[in-house]
Amino acid sequence: MADKSQNTDAWPHLHLILLPTDFSGCANYALPYAAAIARATQARIVCVHVVEPVVPAVGYTGMADPLPIADISEQLEDSAERELPMITDCEELNGLEVEDLIVHGDAAAEIVRVAGERAADLIVISSHGRTGLGRMIFGSTAEAVVRHASCPVLVVKPPAQEEERSS
């Protein structure tokens, strides 16, 4: 019987893998999966970061002089421009064709939009592993992407000890 692990015909024909990141420790757990799949299928990776809109706080914030929203948005953009190349140039993605992309809007909606526009064959996204109240308050970007994406989505859970910290 032939060894299927070496048969590249057993892999689906993937051309583009979308790898969303929010630069958190949990987001990094998806990276080795995306890299391994891209190596096995000779797919390109588009690493995307979504800069979400800043909503002004209503009421007392405790800050003497709150930062203007435009300044905060600009800082988020600058931070993304510095951090995204560090991910796309990391050792695990070495030798792969990788593009970085920064978009603006709701994280889940933008990930789904980019996947559709780029005709992504797969989205590899990490879950923060939140449950209960944390999930109710912060929602689940990964869950929304799974629900609305037109391509397959691989959700990578953090290790159990990391999950417990983010719950």
pLDDT, residue 131, reads: 55
Model pLDDT for residues 116-152, shown as the tens digit of each residue: 999 999 999 998 755 555 444 445 899 999 999 999 9
Higher per-residue pLDDT: 95 or 12: 95
CATH of 13-52+67-166, one of 3.10.420.10, 1.20.120.330, 3.40.50.620, 3.40.190.10: 3.40.50.620
Task: Work out the angle at residue 123's Cα, subtended by the Cα atoms of residues 121 and 124, and round it to the nearest 5 degrees.
Answer: 135
Q: How far apart are CA 150 and CA 54, in angstroms?
A: 28
104-112 mean pLDDT? 95
The amino acid at residue 137 is: I
Q: How far apart are CA 61 and CA 108, in angstroms?
A: 28
Q: Where are the domains of the chain?
A: 13-52+67-166
Model pLDDT for residues 42-86, shown as the tens digit of each residue: 999 999 999 988 766 555 555 555 555 566 778 777 888 889 888
pTM score, whole prediction: 0.79
Q: How far apart are CA 67 and CA 58, in angstroms?
A: 14
To which residue do tokens 């990930």 refer? 111
68: left (phi over 0), alpha (psi -120 to 50) or beta: beta
The upper half-sphere exposure of residue 132, i.e. CA atoms within 13 Å in the direction of its Cβ, equals: 5
Higher per-residue pLDDT: 166 or 89: 89
51 in Cβ contact with 77 (< 8 Å):
yes
